[in-house]
């Protein structure tokens, strides 16, 4: 087995395939594919970067570096794994997963705006308050389903929170389940001069029917989504959720928002 960093080869990036649970790669030494479960094989739940692993083939077992995990955010991995569900004709699971990816995206956005960005602005003496913010947000998020999460997201795009005032944010979190979020904001109130492709994507996610279809699947056992529906919502979700995550520059690590 190679003993120094220089001798350990890197796997070819083009051979890496990711999904939320596993990452597969062709071993650069024996040229056979190994599949690693993120948690039980690697002990990692997030983005895998430059990880030294051993080939899982019994006759090889050589060490190499694994990198090229496509994306670090869980909802991104869920969305991309839906291509496989379409290939295997698992359209019901595809719609369920795409809807869940939306919910994960909305929740990360709330976490970033209500905990991570305030954390980036405050000093160490406020860490206890930040912990309270995070616990309070986790409690509120448990009861927010797709429709209300999307409404809160849209309202926050129209009226952004001030990250520097922790008291205001704490109160804001306490009101996430209020009736004012039972409806989305008026379309005409969406920001109009936003950068990049933000406006078309906001309008598109605002009007998306994926949750309606998901609810039909759940509540009507006779209904099974078609391939056309799965492909349509897969493309729509890639465009909207991945596009908005990129424009909003969402990161899953609190420390990424320190001093920025
Ligand atoms: Zn090998």
Total domains present in the chain: 2
The total of other beta-carbon atoms located within 10 Å of residue 152's CB is 26
Q: How far is the CA of 15 from the centre of ligand 1 (A)?
A: 13
Q: How far is the CA of 38 from the centre of ligand 1 (A)?
A: 18
Q: How far apart are CA 153 and CA 109, in angstroms?
A: 8
Q: How far is the CA of 8 from the centre of ligand 1 (A)?
A: 12
Answer with the one of 19, 47, 66 that is the final residue of a domain: 66
Say yes or no: 158 and 253 in one domain.
Answer: yes
pLDDT tier for residue 195 given thresholds of 50, 70 and 90: low
Q: How far is the CA of 1 from the centre of ligand 1 (A)?
A: 11
Residue 99, pLDDT score: 96
Say yes or no: 30 and 89 in one domain.
Answer: no
Mean pLDDT of the chain: 85
Say yes or no: 78 and 58 in one domain.
Answer: no
Say yes or no: 79 and 206 in one domain.
Answer: yes
Answer with the one of 66, 92, 113 that is the final residue of a domain: 66
Sign of the torsion angle spanned by Cα atoms 141, 146, 147, 151: positive
Q: Are 69 and 47 in contact (CB under 8 A)?
A: yes
The range of the structural domain enclosing residue 59 comes to 5-66
Say yes or no: 238 and 133 in one domain.
Answer: yes
Say yes or no: 47 and 136 in one domain.
Answer: no
Say yes or no: 10 and 50 in one domain.
Answer: yes
Say yes or no: 110 and 41 in one domain.
Answer: no
Rounded mean pLDDT, 75-83:
87
Nearest CA to 228 out of 77, 88, 102, 86 is that of 86
Q: How far is the CA of 71 from the centre of ligand 1 (A)?
A: 24
pLDDT tens digit sequence for 84-119: 899 999 999 999 999 999 999 999 999 999 988 988
Residue 22, pLDDT score: 84
Q: How far is the CA of 192 from the centre of ligand 1 (A)?
A: 53
Q: How far is the CA of 23 from the centre of ligand 1 (A)?
A: 15
Say yes or no: 41 and 149 in one domain.
Answer: no
Q: How far is the CA of 28 from the centre of ligand 1 (A)?
A: 7
Nearest 5°: the CA angle 203, 20, 59 is: 150
Residues 6+ positions from 29 with CB-CB distance below 8 Å: 9, 55, 60, 62, 64
The total of other beta-carbon atoms located within 10 Å of residue 126's CB is 15
Residue 3, pLDDT score: 45
Residue 68, pLDDT score: 62
Say yes or no: 203 and 162 in one domain.
Answer: yes
Task: Name the pTM for this structure.
Answer: 0.74
4-18, 60-74, 147-161, 214-228 — which one is most confidently predicted on average? 147-161
Rounded mean pLDDT, 26-51:
84
Say yes or no: 23 and 118 in one domain.
Answer: no
Q: Does the pLDDT of residue 5 top 50, yes or no?
A: no
Say yes or no: 25 and 140 in one domain.
Answer: no
Answer with the one of 20, 38, 66 that is the final residue of a domain: 66
Q: How far is the CA of 36 from the centre of ligand 1 (A)?
A: 13
């Amino acid at each position: 087995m190679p003993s120094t960093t220089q001798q350990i080869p890197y796997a070819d990036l083009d051979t890496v395939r990711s999904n939320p649970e596993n990452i597969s790669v062709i071993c650069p030494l024996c040229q056979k594919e190994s599949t690693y479960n993120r948690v039980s094989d690697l002990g990692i739940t997030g983005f895998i970067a430059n990880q030294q692993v051993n080939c899982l083939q019994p006759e090889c077992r050589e060490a190499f570096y694994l990198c090229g995990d496509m994306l670090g955010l869980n909802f991104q991995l869920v969305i991309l794994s839906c291509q496989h569900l379409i290939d295997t004709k698992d359209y019901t699971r595809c719609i369920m997963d795409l809807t869940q990816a939306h919910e994960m995206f909305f929740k990360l956005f709330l976490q970033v705006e209500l905990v991570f960005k305030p954390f980036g602005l405050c000093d160490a003496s406020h860490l206890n308050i930040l912990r309270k913010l995070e616990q309070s947000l986790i409690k509120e998020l448990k009861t927010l389903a797709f429709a209300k999460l999307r409404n809160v997201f849209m309202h926050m795009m129209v009226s952004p929170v001030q990250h520097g005032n922790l008291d205001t944010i704490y109160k804001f979190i306490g009101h996430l389940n209020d009736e004012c979020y039972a409806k989305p904001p008026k379309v005409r109130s969406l920001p109009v001069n936003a950068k990049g492709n933000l406006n078309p994507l906001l309008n598109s996610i605002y009007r998306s029917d994926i949750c309606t279809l998901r609810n039909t699947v759940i509540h009507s056992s006779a209904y099974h989504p078609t391939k056309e529906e799965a492909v349509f919502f897969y493309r729509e979700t890639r465009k909207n959720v991945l596009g908005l995550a990129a424009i909003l520059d969402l990161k899953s690590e609190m420390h990424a928002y320190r001093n920025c």
